[in-house]
Amino acid sequence: MIVFWFLLIALVVVVAAVTLAVVGGGSEAVLPEAEPDRVADALPETRPVVRADIDALRLPVAPRGYRMAEVDDVLERLAAELAERDARIAQLEASAQAPQRAPQDAVPARPDLTKRPGQ
C-alpha cells in the first residue's frame, strides 16, 4: 500500500513539473531558436576565391550545428580542387601567351619550275 501512495505522489510531482515547464516558460520556447551566426572571415566577393581563403575560413558552431569533421572534409576537398583548377588555368594561360610559331618547317618549299636547268 505504501508503494502505491509513493508511486501516485511521484506521478503527481512529475506531471506538475512538466506542466510548469511547458506553461511556465511563457513566451520562450522550450528550446529557443538559435540566432544565425555570421562567418567572421567571409569569402571575398571582389576577387576569385583562392586556396588561402578556404584554408582561413572557419564556419561557426551552433547548438544545432553541423558535423564539423564532414564539413572540414568537404572544405578540404574544395580547396584542393580550387588549387588544381588554378594550376590548370595558369598552365593554359602560359601556353596561350607563348609565341606562336608558323609551321614553316612542315611545309616544303615548292621548286621554281620557270627556270631551266643550268641557268
Q: What's the mean pLDDT in 94-115? A: 66
The verdict on residue 25 lying in a domain is no
Given a cut of 90, whether residue 6 has pLDDT beyond it is yes
The verdict on residue 110 lying in a domain is no
The verdict on residue 48 lying in a domain is yes
CA distance 30 to 22: 7
The verdict on residue 32 lying in a domain is no
Grid cell 618547317 in the structure block, residue: 105
Is 65:36 a contact under the CB 8 Å cutoff?
Answer: no
The verdict on residue 62 lying in a domain is yes
Q: Which amino acid is at 52?
A: A
Is 15:39 a contact under the CB 8 Å cutoff?
Answer: no
Quick one: which of 81, 59, 80 has its CA closest to 70?
59
Q: What's the mean pLDDT in 71-84? A: 81
pLDDT in tens, 39-65: 555 667 787 777 887 787 777 676 667
Q: What is the model's pTM? A: 0.40
The verdict on residue 102 lying in a domain is no
pLDDT at 7: 94
Q: What's the mean pLDDT in 28-32? A: 59
| pLDDT band at residue 91 under the 50/70/90 scheme | very high
CA distance 94 to 88: 10
The verdict on residue 74 lying in a domain is yes
For residue 89, the enclosing domain spans 38-97
The verdict on residue 69 lying in a domain is yes
Q: How many domains does the chain have?
A: 1
